[in-house]
Amino acid sequence: MGTLASAGNRRHFDINPAYFRVMARIVQKFGGTSVGTIERIQAVAKRVKAEFDAGNEVAVVVSAMSGVTNQLVDYATKISPLHDAREYDVIVASGEQVTSGLVAMALQALGVPARSWLGWQIPFKTDAVHGKARIQDIEVDELLRRMAAREVPVVAGFQGVAEDNRITTLGRGGSDTSAVALAAALNADRCDIFTDVDGVYTCDPRIVAKARKLDKITHEEMLELASQGAKVLQTRSVAMAMSHGVRVQVLSSFVDAPGTLVVNEDEIVEKEVVSGIAYSRDEAKITFVGVQDRPGVAAAIFGPLSDASVNVDMIVQNVSEDGKTTGLTFTVGKADLERTVSVLNERQKDLGFARLVPDSNVVKVSVIGVGMRSHAGVAQRMFQTLAGKGINIQVISTSEIKISVLIAEEYTELALRALHTAYGLDQDEARI
Ligand code: ADP
Ligand code: ASP
Ligand code: MG
């Protein structure tokens, strides 16, 4: 029976001749850098062995070695920019096949019984949206039997199989989602996501040196951080952890230290007004000049884009000065820019706009915090801080716990660091 059942805080009680022991069932996921070299793979095997030797049931999920997926995507794109998405998936899923075999071998070399599992062998059943498939079901009975018999499954992340037996992939960063989904299906006590940073920070620590590691973060905040660009966890993995009650921890595979726990809001006593700042360079802006100001225009513009599977993110429409024409600006993912421009230009006559101005030199910066629900002045602080640095805001969008602005890309670092300081997030500083 395959399930993605809600994981409770289930524990196995095992009577050991010498003492009573509480065992746990753990999913350990290792990202690209953590399995980036043979030495690192051997270090990963030691880490898995330590959990296994402690008497726990362990399932491992692996990514491709760092850089491999990019290389595979590049191969596919060079053969054909408008490639067959089913063949793309066959190509890009192969990186995880290599690491699942290598990690299983490294475990065997340490005397730990292990075997590799590809998505289709388990199977991880997904829908047929190639390149961005969603997991529908995971058959875990065989894995559970083998784990109970003291074997470690090493599962290739990022991949699954559609109903027609074709290989699918889950979108970039998707092995996080493989791990959380497996943890849910196995009813695991914990899902540890090992990566190259020791937890979730208030901002990407590679850009903001004063970023602070969070001991805990709420699901909602993590969801917003991830969806606004913090790639430390894939957005879908957070949504899945939230809906299935999986206990996720983000930690480093290079140091032995606790990481960041992703928890429910009621587990955090002191709620921050702003707990994190994210950025996304994957944005492109399109401005319409001289759009007719009449009912139905927005529908006429965004309808064809939705038919072309283009996701529109931020939208702003200017007030009409002459009552006849207006300006409209919106953003799409960088990869969709060309397609968007061509879809809209084809309809220039029907849509009746004068000009269309594309701009991919933009970045979206977002401040996030559940405390925003009850605090005023958060947006104002953002606007003032950016103004103080001479940074022009091009588009603004807000949600209950997030404010996003679009600015010129060259100001990314400056904006992130200034905002980080302005919200009192810098290390060794009291928070607002
Ligand atoms: P993996 O290959 O292990 O999946 P990723 O590269 O996908 O690792 O994610 C880890 C990276 O996420 C870090 O190296 C860091 O640069 C980036 N990152 C972005 N925002 C954050 C944040 N708020 N906290 C921690 N890391 C972040
Ligand atoms: N290897 C895939 C990627 O680079 C999946 C992952 O790392 O999570 O996107
Ligand atoms: Mg990742």
What per-residue confidence (pLDDT) applies to 375?
A: 84
Q: Would the CB of 259 count as within 6 Å of ligand 1?
A: no
Q: Which ligand is nearest to the CA of 232?
A: 1
How far does the centroid of ligand 2 lie from the alpha carbon of residue 228, in Å?
Answer: 18
> For the segment 241-255, what is each residue's pLDDT rounded down to a tens digit?
999 999 999 999 999
Q: Would the CB of 51 count as within 6 Å of ligand 1?
A: no
Q: Would the CB of 222 count as within 6 Å of ligand 1?
A: no
Range scoring the smallest mean pLDDT among 186-200, 216-230, 340-354, 404-418 = 340-354
Q: Which ligand is nearest to the CA of 211?
A: 1
How far does the centroid of ligand 1 lie from the alpha carbon of residue 416, in Å?
Answer: 16
What per-residue confidence (pLDDT) applies to 370?
A: 87
In terms of pLDDT, which residue wins out, 197 or 6?
197
Q: Which residues surround ligand 3, an ion (CB under 5 A)?
A: 31, 173
Residue nearest to atom 4 of ligand 2 (CA): 69
What per-residue confidence (pLDDT) applies to 76?
A: 92
How far does the centroid of ligand 3 lie from the alpha carbon of residue 218, in Å?
Answer: 19
Range scoring the smallest mean pLDDT among 27-36, 64-73, 191-200, 365-374 = 365-374
List, in order of start, the domains of the chain with CATH numbers.
12-196 (3.40.1160.10), 266-432 (3.30.2130.10)
> For the segment 282-291, what is each residue's pLDDT rounded down to a tens digit?
999 999 888 8
How far does the centroid of ligand 3 lie from the alpha carbon of residue 394, in Å?
Answer: 30
How far does the centroid of ligand 3 lie from the alpha carbon of residue 414, in Å?
Answer: 25
Q: Would the CB of 67 count as within 6 Å of ligand 1?
A: no
What per-residue confidence (pLDDT) applies to 2?
A: 47
Return the CA Rg of the chain: 24
> For the segment 373-408, what is each residue's pLDDT rounded down to a tens digit?
888 889 999 999 999 999 999 999 999 999 999 999
Q: Which ligand is nearest to the CA of 234?
A: 3
